[in-house]
């Protein structure tokens, strides 16, 4: 299946959907503190999204029950909001999707709850820094496999490993489109597969484990943890290739 090339007006529609994601994530970051529940945070973000004229695109997607993926501590991605009350020292990942006028937005952050350990600071920094590194090195003509390899090398150089079996993805008139963009090189040849072109829009989302890349899906069929049982982190932006470089669309 071909990777869509978006015209400038389509990119602006995607930017509008993504700007709402960015705003909702900033709202959650500001309200991440001990004493608030995951369901309260989910409702806060959903209200924000709807008040800006968009729909929370994750709600009902593949059967997911909420507007926000709230991934607590050991949960790396796809956490379902519960009545759990945040406590000092927790870390919490938020992943949000929107739909506005038929175009989709998607981004994620991992946030500290109050003062966290140095180890957790390094874990979160690895996800964030590998994302921004990836955005910076992207250029037209690069192969997606090359990007996957560079992200993996960055993560491993920090002493962590990428979560396997989950990946970044294209985005546009559907929440998930071609291509798939793992955070690790599949196969041995980074010079294989499709190249990036102006007009392509996709999500990059490093998902960080401490020791074991193998994912385990918990009993609720959604929460994804590492086989090592340790805490993980996740960051994501939607980017567009414009004038040969990646431009972030999912800023508030």
CATH number of the domain at 181, please.
3.90.230.10
Name residues of the chain where pLDDT drops below 70: 1
**Comparing C-alpha atoms, which of 206, 180, 209, 205 is closest to residue 75?**
209
Beta bridge partners of 161: 209
Whether 2 is covered by a domain: the verdict is no
Whether 151 is covered by a domain: the verdict is yes
Helix then strand then coil, % of the chain, to nearest 5: 30, 30, 40
**DSSP single-letter state for residue 64:** -
Whether 137 is covered by a domain: the verdict is yes
Task: Give residue 1's pLDDT.
Answer: 65
Contacts by 51-56, CB closer than 8 A, 24 or more apart: 52/20, 52/23, 53/100, 54/17, 54/20, 54/98, 54/99, 54/100, 54/105, 55/98, 55/99, 55/100, 56/96, 56/97, 56/98
Whether 107 is covered by a domain: the verdict is yes
Task: Give residue 175's pLDDT.
Answer: 98
Task: Give residue 114's pLDDT.
Answer: 98
If one counts the domains in the chain, the total is: 1
The boundaries of the domain holding residue 21 are 8-248
Asked if the peptide bond before residue 100 counts as cis, ω within 30 degrees of 0, the response is: no
Whether 1 is covered by a domain: the verdict is no
Whether 3 is covered by a domain: the verdict is no
Beta bridge partners of 236: 108
Please give the share of the chain, as a percent, with pLDDT higher than 70: 100
């Amino acid at each position: 299946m071909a990777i869509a090339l978006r015209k400038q007006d389509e990119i602006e529609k995607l930017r509008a959907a993504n700007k709402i994601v960015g705003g909702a994530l900033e709202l959650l970051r500001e309200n991440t503190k001990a004493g608030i529940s995951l369901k309260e945070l989910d409702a806060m973000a959903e209200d924000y999204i709807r008040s800006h004229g968009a729909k929370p695109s994750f709600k009902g997607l593949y059967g997911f029950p909420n507007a926000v993926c709230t991934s607590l501590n050991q949960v790396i991605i796809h956490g379902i909001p519960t009545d759990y009350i945040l406590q000092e020292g927790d870390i919490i990942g938020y992943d949000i999707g929107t739909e506005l006028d038929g175009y989709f937005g998607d981004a994620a952050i991992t946030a500290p709850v109050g003062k966290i350990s140095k180890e957790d600071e390094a874990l979160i920094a690895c996800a964030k820094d590998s994302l921004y590194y990836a955005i910076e090195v992207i250029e037209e003509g690069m192969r997606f496999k090359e990007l996957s390899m560079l992200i993996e090398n960055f993560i491993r150089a920090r002493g962590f490993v990428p979560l396997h079996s989950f990946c970044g993805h294209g985005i546009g008139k559907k929440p998930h489109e071609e291509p798939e963009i793992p955070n690790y090189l599949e196969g041995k040849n980074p010079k294989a597969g499709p190249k990036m072109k102006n007009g392509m829009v996709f999500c990059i989302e490093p998902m960080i484990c401490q020791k074991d890349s193998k994912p385990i899906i918990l009993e609720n069929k959604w929460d994804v943890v590492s086989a090592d049982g340790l805490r993980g982190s996740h960051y994501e932006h939607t980017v567009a290739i414009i004038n040969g470089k990646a431009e972030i669309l999912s800023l508030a």
